Structure 1
């Protein structure tokens, strides 16, 4: 492992120092601005660096690439929800907060969702939802036991991801409450009981 790989941070965590978090937010804001001007495919890391004022070395200590920035911006909320689960009284209330965040940045997330290549946000949303649901399940019941439980979690994660994706791509036309309630209603009861 090279020295650079050792120093590189895992952007999927939410345990960054204040300084690193300031840097990540500056990079995120720069990417949001750039994506308001042009397609995600045409944006380079150099463009992000120029807009954010962050050095190349600092960028690569925080992120793997531009796709990692988009994925961090989505997963950051998931990490906050898991780490601060006591502030949410239900799965639906946490979905409402998440949907509000996605609505606030709907143009940014819509542009990111239109990219369909490797490291896409679409795939990452699904993987993150599976990870979140499995973590909630393990906290209550221990290991995910067998194909049936695994299939239930993957099915629910896929449905949730697709509903959110289509909602964002449709301009977040439906109210946040309606989308959250629809997702909650579609998640199997036994799984819904463990989510927060």
Structure 2
């Protein structure tokens, strides 16, 4: 058992070193310009350590961002009040504003967007569960809403939040409510 714990600790350390190294390299280079060799060299681990843990550099970013994004959405799911949910989502984006800008500039935003979308779709699926909707409505409305919510937050953050947070919350609430009402009528 001790060897297993030790092996797990080494694996976790390797993952942490690789993520740190990649994020450091992304400060000055686009993801497409970074190689596995550069990351492992900076991390001080072997190529084998990389390939034991990941297949691609994007996998490092997914492993790095997924726990934080999932945790934020778990917080949102546990808060029943809509205002609290919106506050939790906005706090997530504020916490990650600088990384989102970097992701946009350095070509790895898709990783964050995919993790966000998966969580938003799960959140909306839970919201729609008690409603009498067709399979197509259940499939496409969460896709539509998650893409829209992400795009609004992204634009707001990258443009240095010109509108108030209350304005963004109201806009999102209006879009969500009106599209859901249209969906229920249709």
Cα displacement (A) at 1:148:
1.6
- Residue 92 of structure 1 corresponds to 86
Equivalence map 1:13-28=2 (5 Å): 20-28=11-19
Kindly indicate whether the alpha-carbon contact (under 8 Å) linking 2:18 and 2:60 is maintained by their aligned counterparts in 1: yes
Greater alpha carbon shift after TM alignment, 173-182 vs 69-78: 173-182
Question: Which one of 146, 157, 163 corresponds to residue 135 of structure 2?
Answer: 146
Q: Which residue of 2 aligns with 1:70?
A: 61
TM-score when normalising by structure 2 = 0.67
Q: Larger Cα Rg: Structure 1 or Structure 2?
A: 2
Unmatched segments (≥5 aa) in structure 2: 1-7, 181-186
SS of aligned partner of 1:37: coil
Q: 1:11-160 to 2 correspondence within 5 Å?
A: 20-84=11-75, 85-86=77-78, 90-112=84-106, 115=107, 121-122=109-110, 124-139=111-126, 141=129, 145-160=134-149
Number of residue-to-residue matches in the alignment: 167
Q: Tell which has more relative contact order, 1 or 2 (C-alpha 8 A, sep 6+).
A: 1
| Displacement after TM superposition at 1:60 (Å) | 2.3
Q: Which residue of 1 aligns with 2:184?
A: none
CA distance 1:157–1:137, shift in 2 (3 Å): closer
1:159, CA displacement in angstroms?
Answer: 0.9
Unaligned runs of 5+ in 1: 1-16
User: Which stretch has the larger CA shift, 18-27 or 34-43?
Assistant: 18-27
Partner residue of 2:183?
Answer: none
TM normalised by structure 1 equals 0.64
Residues 121, 146 of structure 2: 8 Å contact kept? no
